[in-house]
A and B are shown apart, each in its own frame.
Chain A
Amino acid sequence: MTGKRNVIDTLPRPVVTLLSSLVAVLLALAICGVLLLVTGKDPLAAYRTILETGLTGNKLLEMLKRSTPLMLSASAVAIGFKMNLFNIGVEGQYLFAALIAAEFASRISAPPVLHVLLTLVVASAAGAFWASIAAMLKITRGINEVISTIMLNFISLSVMQWLFDNYMRDDSDGGLRVTTTEIAPSGQVPDIVDGRLNGMWLVALFVVFCYWLIVFRSKFGFRLRSSGLNSTAAQTSGIAANRMIVVAMLLSGAIAGLVAMQSVVGEEYAYGPQATPTGFGFAGIAVALLGRNHPVGIVVAAMLFGFLDSTSAVLQLSGIPNSIVKVIQAVVVITVVIVNEATSRYMNHRTAEQTAAALRADKVGT
């Protein structure tokens, strides 16, 4: 009986949120259209190309494939966001993890499924280890995690280069290979659709599901969110702030460790400075913002980014600079943040008014 009063006058909050995100995306497209016009390109032609090439079967599969690392990276960032921790170090964490996991996988022999599972566990552990450095710095020395994770990105790259050049590089063919030793077939994850979509996509979806379960449904998640919403109140009610920082950072790093695994165990079967993709750590921040740290939002946002990425090669063929894709992604993030802020203010106001109205109605009724 009580729940019904809220929906009387307009749409429920999730629908409004969804609509506002849609408006933000359209707004971003309009802004980028102006940019294209200014540079002398036809925006409609560009968007038509994006849609026409993007909406073919193969491209849609590519979109899903490209969304895999983005979903993982965004979940890693979002866990931090949920308690006001800004993990900008996903980049360094996943690259470090990719190297360690690739080396590990190439050195062990195990039955098929177990081999992959062990590799993924090692990747998560390596990512968590790298993230734990920032967590320790924060709780023991009070160092802001934004600074430390950014710097650890650089340290990660140097450490990896040293490890790779001296210990992990596969020189069996006379030094021509610039990757680690190839992982045996038992450690390789098969494609769902040959050459188009790898099994790691399902793993990523599963991780997003776990993210939802842990953050939105578990006791730990409740404490995490409480700490993020009001750290003083959380501490007062007995939630140990330092422990939450460490666990959140470790979880974030563990998920981050999986970001490049689609490449390592699903495509290249090795780590290589050129072979392993970079930049997903930062793209994940944008996807998490766009998806508002919500699991469904993250999946949708990752697909949107994957979709835009998948069309970028074709754009260039039709004479439109493919950097417009990056511009659209960037502008979308900005418009979404702005539109969401406006929407949430409006909605908060509406909720307050509706509550007051409901109470007045109650009083009149009785």
Chain B
Amino acid sequence: MRCGCVALCRGGVTVPQRGWVWQYLSMPDSAANGSASANGTAPAVELHNISKGFPGVVANRDISMTVERGTIHAIVGENGAGKSTLMKTLYGLHQPDSGTIAVNGTEVEFGSPSDAIDSGIGMVHQHFMLADNLTVLENIILGAEPATGGVIDSREAARQITELARSLGVEIDVNSPVAELGVGQRQRVEILKVLYRGAKTLILDEPTAVLVPQEVDELFENLRRLVDAGTTVLFISHKLDEVLAVSNRITVIRQGTTVGTVTPAEVTRRQLAEMMVGSDLPQPEPRTSEVSDRVRLEVKNLSVSRPGRRDLVHDVSFAIHSGEILGVAGVEGNGQFELCSALLGREHSNGTVAIDGKDVSHASVRDRKNAGIAYVPFDRQREGLMLTSSLWENNLLGQEEKFTKYGFVNVAAARAACREVISRFGVLTPNEDVPAFALSGGNQQKLVVGRTMSMNPAVLLAAHPTRGIDVGAQAAVWEEIRTARDAGLAVLLVSADLEELLGLSDRVIVMFEGSVVAELSPRDATPELLGSYMTGAKVAAR
């Protein structure tokens, strides 16, 4: 059925007003895909056993997938699952360690994005790359200016762009400066820019992250028109609703590898969520603990607001007792990060926060820290490490007060403290003088966790404490958290790994769109149940 449509459009006769566009769109790959046009059925993109590693991390492992021409193919997965790495491979931003890529049935090797563009693959990045003070036209032709004798043929370019825009179903004034456009329109300009370069396969990296719901609908309408005309769209997202609404096929990626490819008709949102978070990971043994009556962290009516937007955290209340681990489940981006930021005092919030009965609602980050709060960050490199500094300096960060004498840093003591963290948490490093960037991601994480635990906190905010570290280290981190818990620590555990969450937590709350939508006992919470709360499919009265 879809092939029929493609053939129709390719003819360029039945829709004369669009004739040029289809001619243009099919131009760049006409040379490369001679074979494909012959047998019209070759998939737009095929990936076979793609693997890509970075020092210390395997980002993609044995990824295979087939993207049929003229479809919207979604790639879903948690943050950090390897979606972006895969798309960068496909766009030629880096080369895979192993595996092959075939475009329209022909095997290709992309040394750089320009090779990918030549094969008809274009990418629209999550963050727009437009020059604000240039016009729409100038932005679109930038780098591919149609020129005769060194003079840019603006009129011809304007004509081509207007036609392209019409094919998308977009009205756009090519002469207005990009600075005057709204976010949705800017995204259209990005898409037009890629189409203008002759892309037949569009990669959209989290395109809806920056859009409001109406704009999302418009974008989807545009995308449908594109695929009806034979373009292929690769749509990266972790928003399951959108993925189910717009795509023809969905490939799920978890921990760097493909879990499976499904059609929207054959899965429910819940099943998709389960595929995304998985349930075959090493499992922490549930262990009963003595939760005392003493409240260590009390949060009441906490909200984080942004003008003109839905609250990032909305009216969240909970208490964590001494010796208790409270798990926070939720698809990433539903307020967990902002909740932690607000608790740390890094982000302005309304409501009250008390640590060990002491009100710290208006206290600074340092005062809250001194009151006993500690944090294992979501993003260790951005929030936790100075990559070019030595390990001992990184270990010192946040506890420099403790290692200061008369205003000067006690280097010997700071080094000794770092060596202790290294040995206690099994950080693989030759010594404490190595800069942090030289360590693998897992070892960086061990150092960050070790630093946090060695501060003997009263309340621990642990965000993905075992993300990116190997199985053995994972067990060690779990054991450290448990031991500290047994000694009276209160833990807020944010994790995308449901097994970790259910295995470690004494109670679990679920966050959806900034609110706590459910509170469960880990004994009653199945991954299926959690999944339905996490995606908003089910709302429980608390």
Contacts of B437 in A (CB 8 A): 348, 352
Contacts of B396 in A (CB 8 A): 222
Q: Given A6-B430, A233-B383, A236-B377, are A352 and B438 also a contact pair (CB < 8 Å)? A: yes
- Let me know if B382 and A233 touch, CB within 8 A: yes
Contacts of B408 in A (CB 8 A): 213, 217-219
B420 beta carbon closer than 8 Å to chain A? no
Q: Whole-angstrom distance between the alpha carbons of A358 and B428 in the complex?
A: 10
B344 beta carbon closer than 8 Å to chain A? yes
A118 beta carbon closer than 8 Å to chain B? no
Interface residues of B in 416-440 (CB under 8 A from A): 428-431, 433-435, 437-439
Question: Which residue of the partner chain B has the closest CB to A355?
Answer: B438
Q: Whole-angstrom distance between the alpha carbons of A229 and B439 in the complex?
A: 18
A232 beta carbon closer than 8 Å to chain B? yes
Q: Given A226-B386, A236-B383, A352-B438, are A219 and B365 also a contact pair (CB < 8 Å)? A: no
Per-residue interface assignment for chain B, residues 358 to 369, with 1 indicating a CB less than 8 Å from any chain A CB and 0 otherwise: 000000111011
Shortest distance between the CB of A363 and any CB in chain B (Å): 9
User: Could you list 18 further interchain pairs (A-B, Cβ under 8 angstroms) beyond the known A235-B365, A240-B364?
Assistant: A213-B408, A217-B408, A219-B409, A222-B393, A222-B409, A230-B386, A233-B384, A236-B344, A236-B365, A236-B375, A238-B365, A238-B366, A238-B398, A239-B366, A348-B435, A352-B55, A352-B437, A359-B429
Contacts of A220 in B (CB 8 A): 407
Q: Which of A226, A348, A359 contacts B397 (CB 8 A)?
A: A226
24 CB-based A-B contacts, threshold 8 Å: A3-B433, A6-B433, A217-B409, A218-B409, A225-B389, A229-B388, A234-B397, A235-B346, A236-B344, A236-B384, A236-B398, A238-B364, A238-B365, A238-B368, A238-B369, A238-B398, A239-B366, A351-B434, A351-B435, A355-B439, A356-B438, A358-B430, A359-B430, A362-B430
B290 beta carbon closer than 8 Å to chain A? no
- Chain B positions within 8 Å of A, measured between CB atoms, are 55, 344, 346, 364-366, 368-370, 375, 377, 382-389, 393, 396-398, 400-401, 404, 407-409, 428-431, 433-435, 437-439
Q: Which of A3, A213, A226, A351 contacts B438 (CB 8 A)?
A: A351
A237 beta carbon closer than 8 Å to chain B? yes
Shortest distance between the CB of A194 and any CB in chain B (Å): 39
Return the 9 tightest CB-CB contacts between A and B, nearest first.
A237-B398, A238-B366, A2-B431, A358-B430, A355-B438, A229-B386, A219-B404, A238-B369, A352-B438
Q: Which of B344, B409, B430 contacts A5 (CB 8 A)?
A: B430
Q: Whole-angstrom distance between the alpha carbons of A213 and B383 in the complex?
A: 27
Contacts of A2 in B (CB 8 A): 430-431
- Let me know if B375 and A219 touch, CB within 8 A: no
- Let me know if B346 and A223 touch, CB within 8 A: no
Q: Which of A219, A235, A352, A358 contacts B400 (CB 8 A)?
A: A219
Shortest distance between the CB of B367 and any CB in chain A (Å): 8
Q: Whole-angstrom distance between the alpha carbons of A317 and B396 in the complex?
A: 57
- Let me know if A229 and B389 touch, CB within 8 A: yes
Contacts of B382 in A (CB 8 A): 230, 232-233
Contacts of B433 in A (CB 8 A): 3, 6
Question: Which residue of the partner chain A has the closest CB to B397?
Answer: A237
Shortest distance between the CB of A320 and any CB in chain B (Å): 42
Q: Whole-angstrom distance between the alpha carbons of A281 and B387 in the complex?
A: 31
Q: Whole-angstrom distance between the alpha carbons of A345 and B377 in the complex?
A: 27
Contacts of A348 in B (CB 8 A): 388, 435, 437
Per-residue interface assignment for chain A, residues 233 to 253, with 1 indicating a CB less than 8 Å from any chain B CB and 0 otherwise: 111111110000000000000
- Let me know if A3 and B431 touch, CB within 8 A: yes
Q: Whole-angstrom distance between the alpha carbons of A240 and B439 in the complex?
A: 28
Q: Whole-angstrom distance between the alpha carbons of A217 and B383 in the complex?
A: 24
Q: Given A233-B384, A236-B383, A238-B366, are A219 and B430 also a contact pair (CB < 8 Å)? A: no
- Let me know if A223 and B400 touch, CB within 8 A: yes
Contacts of B435 in A (CB 8 A): 348, 351
Interface residues of A in 97-139 (CB under 8 A from B): none
Q: Whole-angstrom distance between the alpha carbons of A219 and B389 in the complex?
A: 15
Contacts of A233 in B (CB 8 A): 382-386, 397
Q: Whole-angstrom distance between the alpha carbons of A107 and B114 in the complex?
A: 71
Q: Whole-angstrom distance between the alpha carbons of A225 and B393 in the complex?
A: 10
Contacts of A223 in B (CB 8 A): 400
Q: Whole-angstrom distance between the alpha carbons of A234 and B393 in the complex?
A: 12
Q: Whole-angstrom distance between the alpha carbons of A312 and B175 in the complex?
A: 54
- Let me know if A355 and B409 touch, CB within 8 A: no
Contacts of B428 in A (CB 8 A): 359
Contacts of A218 in B (CB 8 A): 407-409
Q: Whole-angstrom distance between the alpha carbons of A274 and B401 in the complex?
A: 49
Shortest distance between the CB of A139 and any CB in chain B (Å): 14
- Let me know if A219 and B407 touch, CB within 8 A: yes
Contacts of B365 in A (CB 8 A): 235-240
Q: Whole-angstrom distance between the alpha carbons of A358 and B368 in the complex?
A: 40
- Let me know if A355 and B398 touch, CB within 8 A: no
Query: Which of B55, B387, B407, B438 has the most chain A CB atoms inside 10 A of its CB?
Result: B438
- Let me know if B397 and A355 touch, CB within 8 A: no
- Let me know if A232 and B383 touch, CB within 8 A: yes
Q: Which of A219, A229, A236, A356 contacts B55 (CB 8 A)?
A: A356
Question: Which residue of the partner chain B has the closest CB to A220?
Answer: B407
Q: Whole-angstrom distance between the alpha carbons of A85 and B369 in the complex?
A: 26
Contacts of B434 in A (CB 8 A): 351, 355
- Let me know if B366 and A236 touch, CB within 8 A: no
Q: Whole-angstrom distance between the alpha carbons of A244 and B407 in the complex?
A: 15
Question: Which residue of the partner chain B has the closest CB to A358?
Answer: B430
Contacts of B368 in A (CB 8 A): 238
- Let me know if A230 and B385 touch, CB within 8 A: yes
Contacts of A232 in B (CB 8 A): 382-383
Contacts of A234 in B (CB 8 A): 397
Q: Whole-angstrom distance between the alpha carbons of A218 and B401 in the complex?
A: 11
Contacts of B438 in A (CB 8 A): 351-352, 354-356
Contacts of B386 in A (CB 8 A): 226, 229-230, 233
